[in-house]
A and B are shown apart, each in its own frame.
Chain A
Amino acid sequence: MHNTSYIIRFVLIMTTIVAVVLSLMSTGLKPIHDRNEAIYNKKAILSAVADHLGADFESMSDDQVIEIFNNQITQTVVDMEGAKMDEQTMVSMGFKDGQAESIDMGKEMKKPEADRLLPMYVYQNGGKKFYIVNVRGKGLWDEIWGCIALEDDLNTIAGVAFDHKGETPGLGAEIKDNIAWKNQFVGKKLFAEDGTYKSVFVRKGGAKDAVHEVDGISGATITADGVTEMMKRGMAYYQPYMETLKK
């Protein structure tokens, strides 16, 4: 049997060693982690315009992603009233480099509605221009979010990419994995002919309106309703700024 002071010494020394090793490793790998995370986020944004990149998105290397981001994408940050935020104000508010990328939508959604900041990415390829915006909402188990690409009429959807924190694989997770389902969004319109805001509705049992509805996912009604709600609310946030763009 060991005595108490031995136990205390043993535990103290051991936890100190473990703490030092882990913190050294964590700080040492931080630059690589940050780079990986940045590329992961960039890829998520680009996946909304995957069909318009002129290259195979799946096999794209990290450097290609960064190159597209540096050369073909303009980042803008807008507030809920539709005003553009400039970089200095962003930096003074605590965003690292003042770019749209430094916005964490999860944190923005926790702020009061009027204070939220919205990132926007304008992607240009040849003569075509796409506006990529972020939306975030709730699925069945946890948060869901997505990047929505609009064509330059700011009405027609050019592509979507959804992701989720904990939806069920094979059911709710289909919003991310099912390419055929996501492709239904392409060509759908946010506004009706008469200019009223309609957004895109995920209809259980099959789409009834060819312009504003997509089919639901069987077994994932609540996640699909989450997508509907997220689209309706999330896209509406951008409308004040888009109004100014249209003029």
Chain B
Amino acid sequence: MAEVKVAEKKEAAFQFGKNEKKLLVDPLNNDNPVTVQVLGICSALAVTTLMNKALVMAIAVTAVLALSNLITSLLRNGIPKQVRMIVQLVIIAALVTVVELALKALDYNIYKELSVFIGLIITNCIIMGRLEAFAMANSPWRAFLDGIGNGLGYGIILIIVAFIRELFGKGTVFGLKIIGATPDYLINTTESWMFGWYENNNLMVLFPSAMFVIGVLIWVHRGIINKSLVDVS
């Protein structure tokens, strides 16, 4: 009897049903950590000047968030309630250091460009928030999915903001030259009759532009894409 019960529980642990799908999809839209919960804004300002930086940051945050959610959830019954925040912080800090060491070995240039921002994943409020709100009360599998979902939800906003900032600020996308004033750009503004007036906007490279872009994104998200987010009562 006992064995049957264990087997049942195991099956339940890794199932992927409606609820699990919701964990992955919800943070992308209805419960987006950046545009709905307005968390993790600080790093969204800092690493969105170039798309490859934003992509690496998105991957790093997703990895740290999924793994720290998983570890915290595995330990959740053993973690003493009095020191749980510190324990969570140790888990996050350890994983961030692992990511930092791995990145330093894999791509030193990106590591140099992201510099302090990788270390600052530790202070990303999304991670602490998910550990405290979700991983401490849910099974490891669900916590892991929640981590992936929230990481992607954060990442997708980062990529969108970086796309807008890089394209209009530097005229490039992932370093590919799209629009600019020299012949090596795809659209050469000095010769094109259509884009002769166009000039890359330096403001988009600066931090304030990320504020505007995120603000507009939140507006678009609530006003056009998902009107159910607005409480009309």
Contact = CB atoms under 8 A, between A and B. Distances in A.
A29 B102 CA distance: 8
B97 interface: yes
B90 A18 contact: yes
Interface residues of A, number: 25
Q: A interface, by DSSP: helix, strand, loop or mixed?
A: helix
Interface residues of B, number: 24
Given A18-B90, A25-B98, A29-B105, A1 B81 contact: yes
Interface in A1-39: 1-2, 6-7, 10-11, 14-15, 18, 21-22, 25-26, 29, 32-33, 36-37, 39
B108 A40 contact: yes
A168 B206 contact: yes
Contacts of B109: 40
A240 interface: no
B94 A2 contact: no
B101 A170 contact: no
B206 A15 contact: no
A170 B210 CA distance: 13
A10 B80 contact: yes
A10 B94 contact: no
A28 B213 CA distance: 42
A15 B90 CA distance: 8
Contact of A11 (B87, B94, B104, B206): B87
B169 to A, nearest CB: 7
Interface string A211-225: 000000001000000
Given A11-B87, A26-B101, A29-B105, A18 B94 contact: yes
11 contacts: A2-B80, A7-B82, A7-B83, A10-B79, A14-B90, A22-B98, A29-B102, A33-B104, A169-B206, A170-B49, A170-B206
Closest 3 CB pairs of A and B: A170-B205, A36-B108, A2-B80
Interface of A: 1-2, 6-7, 10-11, 14-15, 18, 21-22, 25-26, 29, 32-33, 36-37, 39-40, 168-171, 219
